[in-house]
């Protein structure tokens, strides 16, 4: 058993508490990882508000980390102690019918299918003050050590800087892949991205890489516009600057609506606006943001009747164990610069400060170092 620091959420809507926790040995098919860095994602804030499905407290949040394998359980063959790895918030078991479908990146072991607040054997590897602590998405990266199933870990190049590629566990992979894989953005096309956080700005990067001719960034925080333009946005607009609905503004700007729209916020009204802003015949709208658990959306069905496509995406459509190592290699080859998403690097003890920066709209991504 390893004793180490972790940020524990004892109850919803309370600050995280830095505690000494016990991290048990990995069991068969499991990997224990020494985390080096972890990003703060809005999904973690979603969890802390008690709005993430199938969540139980106390819990160790975090799902955007990178580290080094410390030990492996019986039967683990794809990695060994000392390997650099990224724990994955979306598994790839390789055995279910979805994993075996080349057109799918969904895994039936995902949190959409079964709770991931305990490991697959329905026990926890974390304890603190004599109490069981729950996992988050099986990986709980707000801890110096974590234990995860082998099929939720990607082994990466030893040359990768862990404080940079930790974003590949969620933000960058999700946004970039939403453009490249899910929407399949075509050269010369027009795109609109709602929300310029880490995921939305990664969509901007994906649209640019795909050759889009016009990339319209939409956010109510004008402080994010300079970064959006640096990453490839051609236009930046604030819905609060207009008296008419933003979908009407986008339709007027483009003549018929954009070819592709992306919602990277997680609000019902912006999801509907994003759908309505793409052209009514062949427009594709990709839903990336996650609504609060139990939320519903009501839409006018004629938005879809004329041919629009409304799609969802999970971690950008990548088969994660297979594709994250390739993305890391592309990063090392300087095919894109995801470092530009990192606005703050903080010591792990300042985790609550990192959330304050996020909620104040002052950070794209804060990375915590252990």
State the pLDDT at residue 194. 98
State the pLDDT at residue 101. 97
Phi, psi angles (nearest 5°) of residue 311: -125, 150
For CATH 3.90.180.10, the residue range(s) in the chain are 2-171+317-369
Query: What would the two tokens of residue 294 be?
Result: 């139990």
Phi, psi angles (nearest 5°) of residue 349: -60, -15
Give the 3-state secondary structure of residue 30. strand
- Does residue 58 have a cis bond before it (omega within 30 degrees)? yes
Give the 3-state secondary structure of residue 283. coil
DSSP label at 331? H
Within 13 Å and on the Cβ side, how many CA atoms surround 45? 20
Q: Give the C-alpha separation, 135 to 218, whole Å.
A: 34
For CATH 3.40.50.720, the residue range(s) in the chain are 183-312
State the pLDDT at residue 115. 87
Report yes or no: 173 and 318 within 8 Å, Cβ to Cβ. Answer: yes
Among candidates 113, 140, 119, which has minimal Cα distance to 28? 119
Q: What is the dihedral of CA 233, 41, 338, 107, to 10 degrees?
A: -100
> Do β-strands 84-87 and 17-23 pair in parallel, antiparallel, or remain unpaired?
unpaired
183-312 is classed CATH 3.40.50.720: yes
**Beta pairing partners, 71:** 32
Q: Give the C-alpha separation, 58 to 2, whole Å.
A: 19
Q: 331 Cβ partners below 8 Å, 6+ apart? A: 160, 164, 165, 168, 338
State the pLDDT at residue 170. 95
- 366: part of which helix (H) or strand (E)? strand 365-369
State the pLDDT at residue 142. 98
In this prediction, the residues of the chain whose per-residue pLDDT falls under 50 are none
pTM over 0.85: yes
Task: State the CATH class of domain 2-171+317-369.
Answer: alpha beta
SS3 content of the chain, % helix, strand, coil (to 5): 30, 25, 45
State the pLDDT at residue 113. 85
Q: Give the C-alpha separation, 32 to 128, whole Å.
A: 18
Q: 302 Cβ partners below 8 Å, 6+ apart? A: none
């Amino acid at each position: 058993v390893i004793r180490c620091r972790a940020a524990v959420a004892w109850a919803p809507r309370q600050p995280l508490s830095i505690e000494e926790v016990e991290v048990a040995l990995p069991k068969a098919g499991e990997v224990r990882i020494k985390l080096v860095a972890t990003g703060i994602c809005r999904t973690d804030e979603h969890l802390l508000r008690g709005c993430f499905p199938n969540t139980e407290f106390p819990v160790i949040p975090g799902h955007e980390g990178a580290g080094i394998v410390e030990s492996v359980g019986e039967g683990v063959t794809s990695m060994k102690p000392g390997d650099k790895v990224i724990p994955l918030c979306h598994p790839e078991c390789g055995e279910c019918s979805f994993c075996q479908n080349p057109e799918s990146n969904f895994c039936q072991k995902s949190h959409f299918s079964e709770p991931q607040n305990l490991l697959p054997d329905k026990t926890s590897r974390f304890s603190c003050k004599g109490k069981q602590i729950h996992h988050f998405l099986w990986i709980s990266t707000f801890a110096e050590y974590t234990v995860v199933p082998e099929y939720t870990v990607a082994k990466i190049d030893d040359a990768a800087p862990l404080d940079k590629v930790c974003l590949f566990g969620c933000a960058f992979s999700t946004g970039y892949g939403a453009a490249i894989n899910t929407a399949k953005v075509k050269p010369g096309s027009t795109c609109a991205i709602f929300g310029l956080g880490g995921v939305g700005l990664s969509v901007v990067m994906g649209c640019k890489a795909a050759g889009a001719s016009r990339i319209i960034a939409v956010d109510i925080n004008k402080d994010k516009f300079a970064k959006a333009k640096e990453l490839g946005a051609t236009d930046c607009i604030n819905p609060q600057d207009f008296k008419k609905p933003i979908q009407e503004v986008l339709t007027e700007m483009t003549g018929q609506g954009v070819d592709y729209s992306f919602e990277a916020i997680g609000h019902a009204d912006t999801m509907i606006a994003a759908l309505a802003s793409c052209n009514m015949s062949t427009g594709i709208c990709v839903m990336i943001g996650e609504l609060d658990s139990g939320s519903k959306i009501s839409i006018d069905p004629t938005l879809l009747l004329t041919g629009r496509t409304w799609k969802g995406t999970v971690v950008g459509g990548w088969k994660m164990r297979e594709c994250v190592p390739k993305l890391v290699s592309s990063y090392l080859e300087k095919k894109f610069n995801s470092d530009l998403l990192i606005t703050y690097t903080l010591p792990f003890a300042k985790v609550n400060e990192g959330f304050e920066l996020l909620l104040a709209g002052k950070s794209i991504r804060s990375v915590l170092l252990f």
